[in-house]
Structure 1
């Protein structure tokens, strides 16, 4: 029967376990490394025992990963693995005991405390950063898109969370995220909208349509881009806006408008021109219909949206005829508008329900 090990031998064996575990966790100090190497080189039995401990460490599930976050728990799991591995530990020859002074013991405790504190600090920072970014991303992904529409025959006015006021013309739609103003101020427009943008130097206001991008800080402008129209237009009343083609890179704005200028994009050719204007394009927000020398084909598109009807022009040449005039949708119905155009002698018309036929 083998004699029991002395308390001194057990203490030395526990110390060897700790040194091996610390070495395999990549946190061994120079002094501890020297002492461990001296013990390994002291005898063949020590070398065999060291190899066995390394084998036990590597076979312990997750102990390598665990050691990166909780050294004490990793060491406890390592020792438990040794005790339950079913192998009898090799008799460990005592290492040459180095005299310990109060200063060396204190130094060892300080080093261990700093080691654990560093690990905890890194973990706290990493977890905080990770949780913040995951939370931010989940919050943004959870934001639903808000859609606002102005049906045919009516206009809609609304105020965005940042204080920006928007008027939508008939047959228009605007979308923006519930997170509007969190990381950006971006809206998507289909149709026509007039914007009085609340000033925010740190966060530009961006409007995207299928053809154009507009970026502003704080200003008043009209943006028209109906999917069925042959052209798209941005018209500026106050401030300054940057305009770019939708096909260009995000953030690439090739043109800048000054007050009383507008950018007109011909969708077919892709040509964009900057021109001066003499009247504001926002009159529609008050229900005003401006003909202003426009083609009958374009006028009828506006009348369809304003009055919720379908208009058919039976003559192509007639569709190119230009008309002038100002009407107010609230005060003048469709029959009155068409009657005024017919009074010029250029057109005749028939209204049947919500369908209008215009002919020569």
Structure 2
């Protein structure tokens, strides 16, 4: 493909339609053929994907400022002049569509992962979706015997050919998987820029769109964790039980840590154990669990580290327990929780630390 060669309109439509989930308006195989027919086609796609910062900016904003997003994108493309010359000539409407495409990429999976996703589905319009809103959890058993527990604010999608042609899952949120064994069909979880592949095992994947980390914890068996090519490289790590892979979507690093895993994957069990983490982190967990929003009146409150065990307690019971563990007052108003410092308890707390 030369610098002046244009992308066919049908391919532009296919890219936007495919990435935005409008399966019935495009031919995924047509896009696949275009990507494979010329290395520069896939290179163009990968370069667009590489501008993943736009995605992060859009995720953190309540409204999309297209001009600002496009300006940031152009700054990145200035480093790639041959691409910049092409996209700067786009009309405002097409620029808006391009920004939306980048937002939908969710961490920039890149051409190779897109190719894998295309291979999943010969009938891309027939997807099955399960979602759990904040304040609830659910579990389900798939046709192959695999069991999945979905945490609050989680969505999974899979094609109707699941268990016959493939065993591929798309995840946004957090889920625990007890995978039925099938050596012929690997079980693959795609979560933003990361794919986790297993044959038969137990593992947890946490990939909320508002968080920069994608975490995979292995409890039993083994899994291969792959990251995309948004940073110009592919990397795979093989986990053994008691290990956690953490992908940082801000810098593209994939690291492996040791963990007992027990408490971190206890969210769907009778006893949910929250090990010593700061109150800011606990607030995020409780927001999903009870469908509320926390507000801190003092940043010092965010730093207190606590350990909690939650069974079937109400939110108010949990908040009351927290007041015994830290110098905090709370006010609960419908779905809003206001946390303030308790000055008298703070003095006692400070004396204990001396």
Shorter-chain TM band: 0.5 to 0.7
For the residues of structure 1 that align with 2:275 and 2:175, how far apart are their CA atoms? Answer: 19
Q: What is aligned with 2:333?
A: 352
When residues 215 and 261 of structure 1 are mapped into structure 2, their CA distance, relative to the original with a 3 A threshold, is same
Q: Is the 8 A contact 1:208 1:246 kept in 2?
A: no
Q: Is the 8 A contact 2:194 2:226 kept in 1?
A: yes
Q: What is aligned with 1:175?
A: 157
Q: Is the 8 A contact 1:240 1:256 kept in 2?
A: yes
TM-score (norm 1): 0.57
Matched, 1:187 2:140: no
Select which of 230, 233, 240 maps to 2:222: 240
For the residues of structure 1 that align with 2:236 and 2:230, how far apart are their CA atoms? Answer: 9
Shift of the alpha carbon at 1:163?
A: 1.2
| Residues 52-99 of structure 1: per-residue CA shift (max 9 Å, x gap) | xxxxxxxxxxxxxxxxxxxxxxxxxxxxxxxxxxxxxxxxxxxxxxxx
Shift of the alpha carbon at 1:271?
A: 2.4
* Structure 1: stretches of 5+ with no match in the other structure: 1-136
For the residues of structure 2 that align with 1:207 and 1:288, how far apart are their CA atoms? Answer: 26
- The alignment yields a C-alpha RMSD, in angstroms, of 2.2
| Residues 323-360 of structure 1: per-residue CA shift (max 9 Å, x gap) | 112111x2x11111111111123321100111111122
For the residues of structure 2 that align with 1:142 and 1:322, how far apart are their CA atoms? Answer: 46
SS of corresponding position for 2:268: helix
When residues 142 and 195 of structure 1 are mapped into structure 2, their CA distance, relative to the original with a 3 A threshold, is closer
* Structure 2: stretches of 5+ with no match in the other structure: 1-118, 342-354
TM-score (norm 2): 0.58
Query: For 1:91-130, what aligned pairs fall within 5 Å after superposition?
Result: none
Q: What is aligned with 1:103?
A: none
When Rg is computed on C-alpha atoms for both structures, the one with the higher figure is 1
Shift of the alpha carbon at 1:317?
A: 3.0
Alignment: residue pair count: 220
For the residues of structure 1 that align with 2:201 and 2:230, how far apart are their CA atoms? Answer: 23
Query: For 1:201-216, what aligned pairs fall within 5 Å after superposition?
Result: 201-216=183-198
Q: Is the 8 A contact 1:173 1:190 kept in 2?
A: yes
For the residues of structure 2 that align with 1:157 and 1:233, how far apart are their CA atoms? Answer: 20
SS of corresponding position for 1:341: helix
Q: Pick 1 or 2: higher relative contact order, CA cutoff 8 A, min separation 6.
A: 2
For the residues of structure 1 that align with 2:275 and 2:216, how far apart are their CA atoms? Answer: 17
